[in-house]
Amino acid sequence: MAGSFNKFICVGRLTRDPELRALSSGANVAKFTVAVDRRGRGANRENREADFFDVTAWDRLAETCNTYLKKGMLVLVEGRIQIRTYEDKDGVKRKAVDLIANDMQMLDRPSANAGDDGYRDDSYRAPAGGGGGAADDSVDDEIPF
């Protein structure tokens, strides 16, 4: 007998910077939207359409997304789909689809054109002096790409 399986994977660009909130329970939650282009068919690829996925990340992943993701960045998001029901202000029962991120990969570097180098956290920057030397050059020669 097969077990249950619930997974989504999308690759797209952020439509805005993530929004981080701290809940009263102490948990952090970040919300952001990923725009995923639909593949065009035939010769008419000019009229592209996109799907917009609202993603929620929790705790440490939420902090990472808030620190490093910026509007326009290409990301891969992996997670699960969660459906919840609620009543709107008129008392009508509604369903909402939430995409809960389990993992995120940045697929391009932050833009250097934004006035700063695109990073919000200095802990991942290289030292100002570059730290280059003969030893660093020999390591680069060994890298196969």
Q: Hey, where are the domains in the chain? A: 8-38+47-138
Contacts of 140 (CB under 8 A, 6+ apart): none
Give whole-number Cα distances, 9 to 33, 49, 81, in Å: 14, 18, 10
pTM of whole model > 0.85?
Answer: no
Residue 113 has pLDDT above 70, yes or no: no
Mean pLDDT of 44-60: 86
Tell me: the pLDDT tens digits for 75-84? 999 999 999 9
Record: fold of 8-38+47-138: OB fold (Dihydrolipoamide Acetyltransferase, E2P) (2.40.50)
Residue 44 has pLDDT above 90, yes or no: no
Residue 124 has pLDDT above 50, yes or no: no
Q: Tokens 């929004």 label which residue?
A: 19
| Pair of tokens at residue 71 | 């509007």
Which of the two residues, 54 and 119, has the higher pLDDT score?
54
Q: Tokens 């009229």 label which residue?
A: 47
